[in-house]
Amino acid sequence: MNIKEQSLLSATRIGSLLLACAVTLGVSGCGSGSMTASQNAGNFKTTVFLGDSLTAGYQNGSLLDTQQPNGYANLIAQQAKFVLALPLIAPPGAPNVMTLVSPGPPPVTGILDPGQTTTGRDDYSLQATDLGVPGALVNDVMNTVPVLLPSTPEQVITELVLGFPGLTNGVAQTQFQSAVALNPTTIFVWIGNNDALVADETGTPSSMTPLASFTTQFTQLMTSLSKQTNANLVVCNIPDVTLVAYLTPAAEVLAEASAKSGVPAAVLSQLLGIQPASSTYAGDLVNPTGLSEVPLILAGKQAPPITDAGFLSAAEVVQVQQMVLAYNQVIQQQASAVGATVVDFHTVFAKTAASGLTVNGYTGTFGYLGGMFGLDGIHPTNTGYGVVANAFIDAMNANLKTSIPDVDLAAIAAKDPLWPPNIAAHYAATPGQHISAKAGQSLDWMLSPRTSAPAPR
């Protein structure tokens, strides 16, 4: 049963609970409404998180109760010792969580319990305070509400996170509306990643949210949070989305295709229309669509070259990076305008990509199964989420004068099933593996452009 079919089962089974949930919400804020945002700096009495899959603790292609606590939001809550309510999703997750069948090479992935579907929330009466919705764009935080009978994967995941019991008098609420109703003392905001990541999936920078729209939407979000709450705001910027393991350098694709076909890589470069990095060229990046086309082209089942949707050229990579920097300038300006603390994760991400992360004597990388990204190539491993949490904690300690201890990355990595030394004893000697087309395409539902923007409320 796919995630769309799951939605109908879930909605039918839980629909009768809607009004009951509305009665038992308990969403009146427990923060001090008389305090100002600046006075609430470092006050985590009632803390709310707004955002997308990264904020939700999404891992390995799924929102799943055994994985959500590994997310950066819950790690921050543990370190700062405040209560965070997660909308935990029952096994096998939504969608079904990916599993590592074999580290390879090449890696082989599958999904847990094919044909099964989640029953939904572990606790339908819980008012979540981690309101991050996988797939959410900036516009969705203020304008997208759950629907009773979801018909798309994005609607399903929105309903699971916000629909129960995110209601006031039986009326569905957006992430923003739910946050305001909770009267929070602190709000964490990390949104805009999907506005950029869509370029990776489509192979087209023009599919990113236009800068003018991003500016309008993010400005409205910051202004509205500032005016309608007394919460101190902690806001994170967007990393370079071209560095994720979801994208594979053309050189790796060509080397693998050459080894399988016996055709020289230089010949394949012309045939497939992708160029590796050289002293004068930065190199193209191939997405899962492009990976799926390579064997078809080599078998004569598809005309060459790889379609434009299958890769980002080196020039397009630069376009994406420049747009992300433009987004981050907006985030910095608008967050600063309302007195928010800005977490510069863009810099942390770039430094980690360049030098790797050494923990317990092993240096993790941004390559697929390199230790930083899970099986979907985009969302962090447990250790990767620890790096994210520490970026937030360090920014708060520096700007808010808090004294929150950093996450112990050594302790997390020691038990992280996807930290390379824990995968298989032989893996450390075989770096450079890349994501499979099947694994990467598991996220297409979350990254694909919307057919239309939600109507403003």
Query: What is the C-alpha to C-alpha distance for residues 393 and 406, in angstroms, rounded to an integer?
Result: 7
pLDDT of residue 429: 43
Model pTM above 0.85: yes
Task: Name the percent of the chain in helix, strand, coil, to the closest 5.
Answer: 45, 10, 45
Cα-Cα-Cα-Cα dihedral of 152, 158, 160, 161, to 10°? 160
Q: In this predicted structure, what is the pLDDT of residue 84? A: 98
Give the model confidence (pLDDT) of 431-451 as tens digits: 457 898 888 878 887 877 764
**Picking from 28-32, 92-96, 310-314, which range would have the lowest pLDDT averaged per residue?**
28-32
Nearest-angstrom CA–CA distance, 420 and 427 = 7
pLDDT at 425: 55
For the chain, give the mean pLDDT.
89
Q: Give a three-class secondary structure readout of 94-161.
A: ECCCEEEEECCCCCEEEECCCCCCCCCECCCCCCCCECCCCCCCHHHHHHCCCCCCCCCHHHHHHHHH
Between CA 327 and CA 216 the distance in angstroms is 11
Contact between 316 and 203 under an 8 Å Cβ cutoff? The reply is yes
> Which pLDDT belongs to residue 450?
65
- Distance, CA of 234 to CA of 343 (rounded, Å): 7
> pLDDT of 140-176, one tens digit each?
999 999 998 898 999 999 999 998 777 777 789 999 9
Q: Please, which pLDDT band fits residue 208 given cuts at 50, 70 and 90? A: very high
pLDDT category at 381 given cuts 50, 70, 90 is: very high
* Contact by Cβ (8 Å): 232, 185: yes
